Structure 1
Amino acid sequence: MPESLLSVPPLLIPAGTPRAGVEWSVSEGLTPYTPAIAAMEARAHAIHDGTAGECVWLVEHPPTYTAGTSAKPEDLKDARFPAVPAGRGGKWTYHGPGQRVAYAMLDLTRPHGPVPARDIRAYVHALEEWMIRALWRFNIRGERREGRVGIWVVRPGGAEEKIGAIGVRVTRWVSWHGLALNLEPDLSHFGGIVPCGIAEHGVTSLHALGVLITMEELDSALMSAWDEVFG
């Protein structure tokens, strides 16, 4: 665990609503990033020990740059916001208001619907499918790209922009971290980093694409799409 986490006051994942065997919890307001990591890690350990159930935790964070295990220092171009080591896979990403972050803490020793047990590649593919199906509910076609984890949309004219990021960690076959889907974040905030190490493509959001839905509507789409992918 990074030393910075050792002095962080504990943050409990709030009680949620069971849904198809998985507890769903939604935090109001902005959840500080570093305590959220500690809360996720504690929940992952409890799942492994059999003292807590699986959980999907939906949050928004204050503006934060987070570094995955493959992040390059030079890809942090302007540290205008706190830069925090995340401990997940991947490179630099941004979290902030208007972005729905979904943390999935699952026991991967068992299957989840069509997602087989102990198959991290299949699990990441399922997270991508989850975003694709949620976006399709708003007539947005999200697409995968070979060699680029996350979900992309194609603008008229052919420009590709990223709308959803994925970064996972698996500890003793329990997953934590998850995905970030852009509803209406300030897209200029991504300018302080090279998002996911990819400089040649931009970043977009549902609102930038003209889909002016609420966070509650996006959460509803994520919940129903979850049942299709992991149910």
Structure 2
Amino acid sequence: MQIVNVLSHGPVDYMSIDHLQRYLHHEVAAQRMPDSLVVWESRATYTAGRRTEDQDIPDTHVPVIRMDRGGSVTYHGPGQLVVYPIVKVRPPKDVVAFVRNTELAVIDALGAYGLDSHQVEGRSGVWILEPGKQDRKICAIGIKFADDATMHGLALNVTTNLDEFMRVIPCGIQDAGVASLQSLGITTTLDAVATILIPHLARVYQQFLLRPSEELVFADADVLLEQMRSYRPDSQAATGTRWEPKLQRMAPAPTASLE
């Protein structure tokens, strides 16, 4: 499995990594490139899934990107470890099992910090459950299967500014909060968490892979970022676009005037 670690670049533009993941997905789906884990940190961005309504969008200077995933709007930003598994899966394709095993890998990794985290029936992600307190999500997970390969992934709050989540209802869940390792009193870095998490993810994904391989190979992220520049997706609608209100998206295009 190929590890594409972009953390050394610091927080990067969301659309740049979205372009990278779609390039890798195109290559992995065609079996021209090994299964990959993209590890990165985003600049402050809100992403809007297919269930997002105009009233869900925060009034903020932070960019809002419309994405081809399920769910509503959520936040990505500095201090959040994002991992995109881009792997070719064998039949039968079971996205629920893939998500559940991703959750288990995160739970095992957080256990290295002595943290007790959980799955919650009927809800994706990894949760902090404490008696008498609101359930809090520490890791959001959203996976998409396309052309027998996965895309999108997980976002684990390490030192994330949780105030940014207060502008929205994360993933459309109204009766829960958010947490980070920092808010739970754990001091660490994204690099340290990634070092622990990556082997757990690689291990649980083996059962789903069309081409299982336990070897971890660290790719040159800069080379791949350069290669992706020549990749043009089949449809612009599939690449992620800036959010526009629905009325604006539905309005007819302006006509040219001869005056």
Per the normalisation by structure 2, the TM-score is 0.74
Please, which of 93, 96, 108 is the counterpart of residue 74 of structure 2?
93
Summarize the alignment of residues 1-231 of structure 1 with structure 2, pairs less than 5 Å apart: 22-27=1-6, 28=8, 29-109=10-90, 117-155=92-130, 157-231=132-206
**1:133: how far off?**
1.1
**Aligned counterparts of 2:61 and 2:122: Cα–Cα separation in 1:** 29
> Deviations along 1:182-223, whole A, 9 cap, x unmatched?
000111111221101012211110010001112222011102
SS for the counterpart of 1:44 is: helix
**1:174: how far off?**
0.6
> Deviations along 1:13-66, whole A, 9 cap, x unmatched?
xxxxxxxxx101211212211121121111111112121111001100100000
**Aligned counterparts of 1:97 and 1:125: Cα–Cα separation in 2:** 26
SS for the counterpart of 2:82 is: strand
**Aligned counterparts of 2:132 and 2:36: Cα–Cα separation in 1:** 40
Q: Is the 8 A contact 1:30 1:61 kept in 2?
A: yes
**Aligned counterparts of 2:81 and 2:21: Cα–Cα separation in 1:** 16
Q: Is the 8 A contact 1:46 1:52 kept in 2?
A: yes
- One-letter amino acid of the counterpart of residue 4, structure 2: S
SS for the counterpart of 2:104 is: helix
**Aligned counterparts of 1:71 and 1:134: Cα–Cα separation in 2:** 31
Per the normalisation by structure 1, the TM-score is 0.83
**Aligned counterparts of 2:55 and 2:127: Cα–Cα separation in 1:** 24
SS for the counterpart of 2:84 is: strand
**1:79: how far off?**
3.1
- One-letter amino acid of the counterpart of residue 23, structure 1: Q
**1:156: how far off?**
5.5
Q: Is the 8 A contact 1:78 1:193 kept in 2?
A: no
Q: Is the 8 A contact 2:86 2:150 kept in 1?
A: yes
CA pair 228-43 structure 1, distance change in 2 beyond 3 A: closer
Higher relative contact order at CA 8 Å, sep ≥6: structure 1 or structure 2?
Answer: 2
Q: Is the 8 A contact 1:47 1:54 kept in 2?
A: yes
Q: Supply the RMSD in Å over aligned alpha carbons.
A: 1.6
- One-letter amino acid of the counterpart of residue 77, structure 1: P
Any gaps of 5 or more consecutive residues in structure 2? 207-259
Of structures 1 and 2, the larger Rg is shown by 2
CA pair 127-73 structure 1, distance change in 2 beyond 3 A: farther
Q: Structure 1: which 4+ aligned runs deviate by more than 4 Å? A: none
> Deviations along 1:137-156, whole A, 9 cap, x unmatched?
11112212222211110246
- One-letter amino acid of the counterpart of residue 25, structure 1: V
**1:76: how far off?**
2.1
**1:72: how far off?**
2.8
Partner in structure 1 of residue 226 of structure 2: none
**Aligned counterparts of 1:56 and 1:176: Cα–Cα separation in 2:** 10
Q: Is the 8 A contact 1:77 1:194 kept in 2?
A: no
Percent identical among aligned pairs is 31
